[in-house]
A and B are shown apart, each in its own frame.
Chain A
């Protein structure tokens, strides 16, 4: 058998093929199929088949997060229809508006395991590669096909090997590393590629930091992103899943279309400037840009270590009077821990607004949209024109520490100088 990458191995084992060389079309059987509110559109397409059952009630996961609680009557009606579908078809894993962002709830509730294939109707489904899974975003029609048959066609992607080495400097985080990479490769630099992360910086990273790398790999076009599982992965999953899983690693002589090396020790905090995620600059070049809003949260950076990093910067200081700072814990579990550890108290004392776990204003749905001419610095994942409100508003993307430093200063600031 030819040597294989992680993506090739996982797709081979999930399509009944001995090997699945890049470029081949395979019919894949996913282990988990995740949707959020767009389960409404998926179920509408699914119902057209006239089937009286879904493929597997245990393997479908539905998590409300994009508009929680419902921001409009239309959303309320959509969520109601999905709840009824869940009940009618006996979907086992349904998480209503009180649980958090799908990409955080999925691993917390034991729906992510190494070596598995996960599909989700959300592009940032790449996040779960942080646990060694092949995890990718798909459309509603594809998901309807999975709900019906448990199968989906895929072209096996080519793979990139990205090796990150060196110690991260103070106030430089996984977010800065991946923004730097996106800036170098471009927003289509890894289009439809499987990205594998290696190096001592990555093995030294926490699971939440690895989730940041995999989450944002989407923003360079990746089909999926994978960190090979290790002791940290097993430790994190302990108590969350009791199902067995298989560990999949690349063969030593697997073929990579590109090999990219990043030296982390020389990096500085990065900022992705309007209106493209690959428009990345060192923070020094955008320092001083006045902001109206500072957003801390999202599937990218709404976990405990993110809230903590921001709280460290902001503790004992106050949010600038001209700035609205919004803090959104990624899940109920994160929310609770942040309460218990006094992290939320720090933000409230500083003058920030705490919002319930969910996607918040990240995708421009609700909870903090911007007016014409306004500027937000955000720990989220996209800064497309008009994404967070008015088409004449702007979003800068940065790490939680940079967001907090900017909130204090009222303008984009270097967290190393606060």
Chain B
């Protein structure tokens, strides 16, 4: 899989919760492309995010991104609207797991505040955690992803990872 991503930066603040990322109204939706139309709809100031986001964009967030619900629609809507990597000062636990398990790369970076303005061009290496602001010609270091998370992402998510490791009865090799 790709390890270095370059794209436009969307920048949001602290404590963006799962209702803001993907509102409860839309939970009956199971088609990821439909989910993508409602990504970030309740984040004040960027209600038109889903219309303006482009394939390859990056999302830069403050502390505790994705707090709240276990709804997988939240990372799914981001992945399918074109966001390649979510970078945050910190993530809420369930969002973090869900993102990795559906194959959406994450980078945690404590020194993220002030690093980029909206629509700066940013480059991120998910394996090393290195972040470059191409527009401003600066760089900072985030945390590299732990091995297991990296392996799951490289496989494309939890399901392909488990399949390739023969962990499904009747599917793949071994038990």
Contact = CB atoms under 8 A, between A and B. Distances in A.
B137 interface: no
B42 interface: yes
B173 interface: no
Given A121-B70, A140-B72, A191-B90, A387 B24 contact: yes
Interface in A97-151: 121-123, 125, 137-142, 144-145, 148-149, 151
A51 B170 contact: yes
Contacts of A364: 19, 23-25
Interface residues of A, number: 51
A221 B67 CA distance: 7
B28 A122 contact: no
Nearest to A50: B171
Contacts of A187: 15, 64, 67
Nearest to A122: B70
A363 B168 contact: no
Interface in B136-175: 148, 157-159, 162-163, 167-171
A391 B70 contact: no
A383 B47 CA distance: 19
Contact of B44 (A140, A144, A276, A385): A385
Interface in A47-75: 48-52, 55, 66-67, 72, 74-75
B135 to A, nearest CB: 30
Given A51-B170, A142-B97, A365 B19 contact: no
A38 B97 CA distance: 17
Nearest to B175: A149
A89 to B, nearest CB: 14
Given A191-B93, A386-B23, 4 more contacts: A141-B157, A188-B92, A364-B24, A387-B24
Interface of B: 15, 17, 19-20, 23-25, 27-30, 42, 44, 63-64, 67-73, 90, 92-94, 97-98, 101-102, 148, 157-159, 162-163, 167-171
